[in-house]
Structure 1
Amino acid sequence: MRDYEDIGVRVPGGRLAVRRWPGAPGAAVVVGVHGIASNGLAWAEVAEALGDGIELIAPDLRGRGLSRDVAGTGSMARHADDLLEVLEHLGIGQAVLAGHSMGGFVGCVAAHRDPRRWTELVLVDGGLGFPLPPDTDIDAVLHAVIGPAMAKLDMEFADRAAYHSFWAANPAFAELGGPLVAAYLDRDLTGAEPHLRSACRAEAIRQDAEDEFRSPEVFAAIHELTVPTRLLWAERGLRDEPVGLYAPEVIAASGLAAEGVALHFVPGVNHYSVLLGASGARIVAGHLTDAVRRTPTRG
């Protein structure tokens, strides 16, 4: 396994926890942004697939993982600002930006706001959104879309094994396992046995969901990018449904191809395994490797 370090970056409201897989001297940098109820270790399998020729930096977004206690209202713009704080802290001028699920929306907003800091944007099953009717209940949408990721917020777990079993019951995790997935799940726990709970703060998730699902600026960001962008979309869904988060007809009707976004279908994976599984991570790593070829190296 690759060497790594955990660092803290001062942001408004506290210290953001960041997992860093250092690269060889002069290596290009990728910043990976996780989904709405996830944490930075979602990128661990990708880090392994990249190898030490590329540095990978993956923060726990505020309100999640080891950044659970970072205060302040959440939004895609707030997370985008936090990413800039990470770059400044580490002395990084430019990087490739990658986002999975909600992280894709963060990536679109970040690249739209600060195109000179991000040399390319790689979206992994996220970033393309559609507005909800004004009277839609956000909690109902979250339970319908991300299901177990919302259910876990109201649950306690006697030990880590119980939490692992909870996720193993999701068909999307049927082929996922090993120490990297276990570490990812463990980072999403807080408290002590037998009263372990998810480290995700419910209010942080709701605030981000309001922005992700209702903000016209967030919806528009993917259509207004000047940074080279590619979207990888998984064949299957969040519960391993045969149709993924983005159905083929949705991708076709999005207008993204005409706007210059490169579209890549990823067969044989679902919304989770495209990042957490070995085969999906290799595909994502291949796209990131291609993207960093256009990224200036650090001397």
Structure 2
Amino acid sequence: MTPSDTAPAGARPAPEPLPFEELRVPVPGGDLTVLRWAAPDPAAPTVLALHGITANALSWGPVARRLAGRATLVAPDLRGRAGSADLPGPYGIAVHADDAATVAEALGLHRPVLAGHSMGAFTAALAAVRHPQRFGRLLLVDGGAGFPAPTHLSPDELLTAVIGPAMNRLSMTFPDRASYRAFWQAHPAFARRWTPEVDAYIQRDLVGHEPQLRSSCRVEAVRADGTGLFGDDVLAAVHRLPAPATLVLAERGLLDEPQGLYDADRLASVLDGARVTVLHAPDTNHYTLLTGEEGAALIAGLLLDAAGQEAS
């Protein structure tokens, strides 16, 4: 099955991935790989975007395309993933937050809009708290508002409960790239929503050689980051933001289930008193809010709005 096999008959062909630059930024322990989709106008605003716990920078590719050159988008492969897989620990949300600040300084980004998806949203919130002068407006995408961890689960059980098949695949091997594509095309969140951009994003995750391909994500990094999501500093970050933020929520969950990550009662509880405006994105799930056509268009528009607010 190829990416085009899932397109409805008569549908417009899905857009191809937008070209990008691949940069290296020195951080403690080595170099962080950073992707940049540069706007033609050097004076255009910049967005620094952070991906989820087992994702990589190309998850932001559809949003970069929908920005249509109106803003530069910079997205690192976070420590322990894809192009940054060889970076050593320590890992954790605070380390990623400081790496993001290092990227902004190294690339000369002046108060970029800071965005994060899923775990990246928690990282973005903590980065805004730890480095308030480094970043501008904040956009949280289906994450960033935490809740206490269940005490009866081990760290691996907790991670499996939170991210499901994304955790299981870290111990799997695949004979070729087609089998990895088939694995993801069977995922409920991507069924009937496959595009060349999604394909490029998931293929960036593969390392090794056939017939022993595997995910680039380092299990020790995912464990440290996943358990770190429930740390007191991370849970408190959304209440300590230096400026108002926007949180946009997918209607559906990680497995395309009807309930999204936050129900109304939980959301009201964890955001009580926080300076966060909540928006809801209909007909999206946790993944397609970022990678789907409608979701990417919404996120791109919100990023441009945030850039305009920062400039005013």
**Structure 2 matches for 1:179-190, cutoff 5 A?**
179-190=196-207
1:43 and 2:60 matched: yes
Unaligned segments of structure 1, at least 5 residues = none
Scaled by the length of structure 1, the TM-score of the pair is 0.95
Q: Distance in 2 between matches of 1:271 and 1:25?
A: 32
Q: Distance in 1 between matches of 2:49 and 2:271?
A: 25
- Work out which of the residue numbers 107, 128, 143 in structure 2 matches 1:126: 143
- Work out which of the residue numbers 239, 259, 266 in structure 2 matches 1:243: 259
- Work out which of the residue numbers 257, 267, 278 in structure 2 matches 1:263: 278
CA distance change for structure 1 residues 193 and 44 in 2, over 3 Å: closer, same or farther?
same
What is the identity, as a one-letter code, of the residue corresponding to 2:240?
E
How far residue 134 of structure 1 moved from its aligned partner, in angstroms, is 4.5
How far residue 237 of structure 1 moved from its aligned partner, in angstroms, is 0.4
Q: Distance in 1 between matches of 2:242 and 2:101?
A: 18
- In the other structure, the counterpart of 2:104 is 87
CA distance change for structure 1 residues 59 and 95 in 2, over 3 Å: closer, same or farther?
same
- In the other structure, the counterpart of 1:157 is 174
How many residue pairs get aligned? The number is: 295
Listed one character per residue, the Cα deviations across residues 210-249 of structure 1 (whole Å, up to 9, x for unaligned) are: 2112x11110000111222000011100000000111122
Q: Distance in 2 between matches of 1:296 and 1:200?
A: 37
Deviates more, 1:233-242 or 1:132-141: 132-141
How far residue 116 of structure 1 moved from its aligned partner, in angstroms, is 1.5
Deviates more, 1:271-280 or 1:168-177: 168-177
Equivalent residues of 2:51, 2:120 under 8 A apart: yes
**Structure 2 matches for 1:1-299, cutoff 5 A?**
2-23=18-39, 24-134=41-151, 136-213=153-230, 215-256=231-272, 258-296=273-311
How far residue 135 of structure 1 moved from its aligned partner, in angstroms, is 5.1
What is the identity, as a one-letter code, of the residue corresponding to 1:122?
L
Equivalent residues of 1:30, 1:57 under 8 A apart: yes
What is the identity, as a one-letter code, of the residue corresponding to 1:230?
T
Listed one character per residue, the Cα deviations across residues 245-294 of structure 1 (whole Å, up to 9, x for unaligned) are: 111222233334x4321110111000000001111111111111100002
What is the identity, as a one-letter code, of the residue corresponding to 1:163?
Y
Give the secondary structure class of the aligned counterpart of 1:286: helix
What is the identity, as a one-letter code, of the residue corresponding to 1:89?
A
How far residue 93 of structure 1 moved from its aligned partner, in angstroms, is 2.3
Q: Kindly, what percent of the aligned residue pairs are identical?
A: 48
How far residue 168 of structure 1 moved from its aligned partner, in angstroms, is 1.1
How far residue 99 of structure 1 moved from its aligned partner, in angstroms, is 0.5
Q: Distance in 1 between matches of 2:19 and 2:202?
A: 19
CA distance change for structure 1 residues 175 and 250 in 2, over 3 Å: closer, same or farther?
farther
What is the identity, as a one-letter code, of the residue corresponding to 1:107?
A
Q: Distance in 1 between matches of 2:209 and 2:166?
A: 20
Unaligned segments of structure 2, at least 5 residues = 1-16
What is the identity, as a one-letter code, of the residue corresponding to 1:217?
D
Note the aligned Cα RMSD (angstroms).
1.4
Give the secondary structure class of the aligned counterpart of 2:137: strand
Deviates more, 1:102-111 or 1:112-121: 112-121
